[in-house]
Amino acid sequence: MTFTCCNDNRRAALLGNKLLYGVDYLEVVDGPTRPAGIKRQRTLLVTLLNTAPFNVFAPRNVLITGGESVTSIQVKWIQPVLATTINTPGLPADVAADLAKFASVPNADRVLVIRLDKYGDFSPYTLQFVNDVTKATEAAFTVTDVFDGFDPQLSSVTFNFKVDCGPEFDCNPAPPDCHPAPPTPPPINYLAKDYTTFRQVMLDRMNQLLPSWGASTEADIGVMLAEVVSYAADQLSYRQDAVTTEAYLNTARSRISLRRHARLVDYSISEGANARAWMQINVSGNTALPQKGTSFSTSAPTMPGAIIPGNQQAALTAAVVVFEPMQDALLYTDHNLMYFYTWGDSNCCLPAGSTEATLLGTFTDLQVGDVLIFQEVIGPQTGVPADADLRHRCAVRLTSVATTTASGKPLVDPLFDTSGNIITSSTATNQQPVTEIGWSTDDALPFPVCISSTNYNVTPAQPLTNVSVVLGNVVLADNGLTMPRADLGYVPVPTMFYASTDSDMCAQPVPSPLPVRFLPTLAYSPLTQAVPMPLTGSPTTPDAIPLSTSAPVSLEDGNGFIALQVSADSPSTWPQYFGVVATPGASVGTFDLAVVFDPLPGGPAGIGSAVTLESFTGMNLTTASPSYAGKVLHRQLQPSRQLFPPAQLFCPTPAQLRWSTQAQPTTSPFSPPIRSAGLRSSASSRSSKFPIHPCSTCSCFTRRPPAPKASTLPS
């Protein structure tokens, strides 16, 4: 469940729907009440909302994720509790014997028994019902590979193996009964800070420890050593004072110390730059926004309309605030205003720290790298726009977008139609389409985003929807107005020369002019220091980058910016030792990509270097170029074309590679990345699930309805 909601509307709707299954709760078999012969924490009892089906589930349909020290928990077998009451073909005798031990559990017709190969640690785990464990592990969102017939939002449950374990464990050792007495400190003058006092302290201490020493001359070896150590201590004391002085903002004397202090609070001191802002643009039709010639400005009574070439000075005189886009952008009417989708529940919010959400509708033009703004538009308690908290808005950059399932079908809500009614027919075609979006943990929500609430200030109470909305068509702009080119004139001809020092009066001296003072003045002021947006260069890799089986691999340019992300389609089918290499192209701004077999070190014998399987040359990241990486890969990586390793390697046939541009491509970080059969956006890590009931994470619910009746669900 991506959202945190304060009701069970979806669960109630699913109870009356025989077309879908859903998880009610999960129990870990442990403690003194477990049946005899059942190992602790190796068996899970999953209670469904409807009658459990027979001969449907297999171990590959159950995915268990999570854990810290214990991961990769596998399912040995899964069966309904009542599997022994019917003629289940191929049911082993030991499995039937274990199922018989759970025949008396409540709601036995809805219970599935799952046997695991090992138990987990103290951290939370998530159990999911999926079509295929391998594909679900690679998916960016949990809803894209839900087991057929299961509700997308109630197909998983978070649990803990150690619910019956006591709280006796404590890693902090018990303190001793009697603490040993501390040793008596020597009488040392800690105010000694220079050479003289250090020398005197050392000599006094040596005379105290060695009363018969009696050294009285500087030639004594003991005195000499004391003076050498005193000199070193004097130097260290000076450094200590200097470090202490530079350690505080009020006493620091060097600029480098001040820069380091600012860096401690995540503020990098530079030479200064103009302000930047996210601009959200509403358009009446799909269009492209050019960077050159576009500006955003505030209004002023004396401003003569829009800013065009020739009236820039009038705009400055009117004191308008002007911003200009930093790059080109593609704008879509569907992205003007979008809404969250809460899967039929109400009183929902996105908790702080969330990195995933669901949008109402299908948005095929949303791409990885697009920036969206979440904004509260009405008051959560009153529904009045004036009561909306303007501080509750933030921008996120998308790292993953899904509009289809793992099988390529449109992503929909199988329980509700487009009108919000419960679907009761298996032939319904008006299922509500949705879009899953995810963003980086760097952009995790800093506060809860209220999606829906209830207004209890009126009678009867009024439900409030779309408390917060999603704004697209977001463009980054910086403050300042581009002025026409100014003519600064020419450097004047020198009129003064140095006197000749040549002793030969008959020789013609070569005049040596004095430097001319040239002080041109700009006609427009004040000036701002604009810092251009860093553009991603061509990716380069010093060595082969191994393909990952769980996430895309990032290829960086020379400045450390991620220029390209590469992932394999069905990476589990690829053999190990496969990777990609990016090298500079023959011309400036181009690069070459190669798929290689690189077993070194530790690979099969007889392979002395990386074997190139296929290469793509002369590509770039400029969308208007015929050598754009998206176009080249689209032409060469067709669905029917596969990459075959050399026959002598005895490797299975790998599936195709997929490529995706990073969030900041060379042309525009807001333009849609490559869209073709051979490309895929990078997958983000799956976020942790949140409980259904606790509303404390949603700050928008300050007044709640009366407490519900006692629930029959286990806590």
Residue intervals of the chain classified under CATH 2.60.40.1220 are: 4-159
- Amino acid occupying residue 652: P
What is the rounded distance in angstroms from the CA atom of residue 578 to the CA atom of residue 612? 10
What is the model's pTM?
0.65
Report CA Rg, the chain. Answer: 36
pLDDT for position 665: 32
User: What is the 3-state composition of the chain as percent helix, strand, coil, each rounded to the nearest 5?
Assistant: 15, 25, 60
Task: Select from 2.170.120.12, 1.10.10.60, 2.40.50.220, 2.60.40.1220 the CATH code of 4-159.
Answer: 2.60.40.1220
pLDDT for position 550: 53
Q: What tokens appear for 239 in the block?
A: 């450094």
3-state DSSP call for residue 632? helix
Residue given tokens 């649990």 in the structure block: 159
Instruction: Give per-residue pLDDT as tens, 21-69.
Output: 899 999 999 888 888 888 889 999 999 988 888 888 899 999 999 988 8
What is the rounded distance in angstroms from the CA atom of residue 451 to the CA atom of residue 412? 20
Q: Contact, 161 vs 116, CB < 8 A? A: no
Phi then psi dihedrals of residue 545, to 5 deg: -95, 115
Which parts of the chain register pLDDT below 70? 1-2, 86-88, 166-173, 176-177, 304, 503, 548-552, 567-576, 599-608, 623-624, 630, 633-715
